Amino acid sequence: MKKRIFDIIQIGYKGDLPSRIFDIFISVVIILNILAMTLSTFRTLEPAESVFVMIEVVTVGIFCIEYVLRIWTADLLYPDKGPVMSRLRFLFSYDGVIDMLTILPFYFLSGMIVFRMLRVVRIFRLFKINSQLDSFNIITSVLREKRNQIISSVFIILILMLASSIGMYSAEHNAQPEQFENAFSGIWWSISTLMTVGYGDIYPITVVGKIMAIFTAFLGVGVVAIPTGIISAGFVEQYQKNLHSDKKYRDVSNIGEILADDDSGFPGQKVADINRSYGMRVLVLIRGELTIVAAENVTVNSGDILVVETERIKKKGRKN
């Protein structure tokens, strides 16, 4: 029974119908829980607050049962560890921590709604969005491969942000001592300007400050474009890799060898001429201890051994 429960609650076990039904059921429960939590914040729906509370209690109860079952079957998830270590491994694993953080706020941290929103992560985990061949993994791969360039661009942003903050303080401190009190008080303005947000709660009023704001705004467009271009290029490279990795190459089931002697007439000819004249496909040339790729412009020497596809020779009636 324990093994059967483990197979059912194991995420993404597509070969078992009850397991798939369980995944869908948990997904529906998560959606209901988040929906009830969200709707309970509307004043117009206060008469239905008892319904929302009931949904919260039932769904959290289901989460608790699932959490206990996962702890119980953790020794099957980590068979190389003992009963105690396997359960500790699950409790401190990514899935175990997420499951715990989605349950605890209901009992102890009811005001910390951010932990409740972690239930959405459970939906991602259910449908294996973080599996090996999915879009989320491509995103993490791109960020990992381009991390040096991204870190460099972020460093440039920090330098520009600090420089614009100090420059704006120098230009606006006398005119707006409350808004630009010190060198770091303009960081909020520099962030909103460099990131092209521009909230307008802090703005320059002097001529020098306005000129600096214009240059900062123009720099902000380029600053935002740098990491965006790096990540976009990374996505293109990853797409090209996946495109070429999916390319299918035809296997050669039958091959044969032909000695390029004077009787064969092959010496002195190029591979492209041999393929075209004799209707064959030369794969490689063996020249002494060398193995040469049969490019079309390679010239065959006397004594070379031609490794060819035998099926094409048989079609021409030529013996190998």
Considering the domain architecture, whether residues 189 and 225 belong to the same structural domain is answered as yes
| Residue 234, domain extent | 147-245
Digit-coded pLDDT (tens) for 192-238: 887 777 677 788 888 988 898 888 888 888 877 888 888 888 888 87
201: domain CATH number is: 1.10.287.70
Q: Do the domain assignments include residue 241?
A: yes
Burial class (CB in 10 A: 0-12, 13-18, 19+), 100: middle
Q: Do the domain assignments include residue 178?
A: yes
Considering the domain architecture, whether residues 121 and 17 belong to the same structural domain is answered as yes
54: domain CATH number is: 1.20.120.350
Considering the domain architecture, whether residues 87 and 106 belong to the same structural domain is answered as yes
Digit-coded pLDDT (tens) for 57-90: 898 899 899 889 989 988 888 888 888 898 898 8
289: domain CATH number is: 3.30.70.1450
How many structural domains comprise the chain?
3
Q: In what order do the strands lie in the sheet with 305-309?
A: 255-259, 305-309, 282-287, 290-293
Final residue belonging to a domain, choices 218, 245, 272 = 245
Q: Do the domain assignments include residue 41?
A: yes
State pTM to two decimals: 0.48
DSSP state of 47: G
Final residue belonging to a domain, choices 191, 220, 245 = 245
Burial class (CB in 10 A: 0-12, 13-18, 19+), 300: buried
Residues, the chain: 320
Considering the domain architecture, whether residues 229 and 160 belong to the same structural domain is answered as yes
Final residue belonging to a domain, choices 100, 129, 158 = 129
Digit-coded pLDDT (tens) for 249-293: 555 667 788 888 888 788 888 888 888 887 778 888 898 888 888
Q: CB of 39 within 8 A of CB of 52? A: yes
pLDDT band at 136 (very low <50, low <70, confident <90, very high): low
Q: Which of 38, 14, 32, 17 is nearest to 123 (CA)?
A: 32
Considering the domain architecture, whether residues 68 and 177 belong to the same structural domain is answered as no
Considering the domain architecture, whether residues 241 and 259 belong to the same structural domain is answered as no
pLDDT mean across residues, the chain? 79
Considering the domain architecture, whether residues 189 and 73 belong to the same structural domain is answered as no
Q: In the numeric block, which tokens belong to residue 48?
A: 């239905």
Considering the domain architecture, whether residues 119 and 218 belong to the same structural domain is answered as no
Q: What is the mean pLDDT of residues 313-319?
A: 45
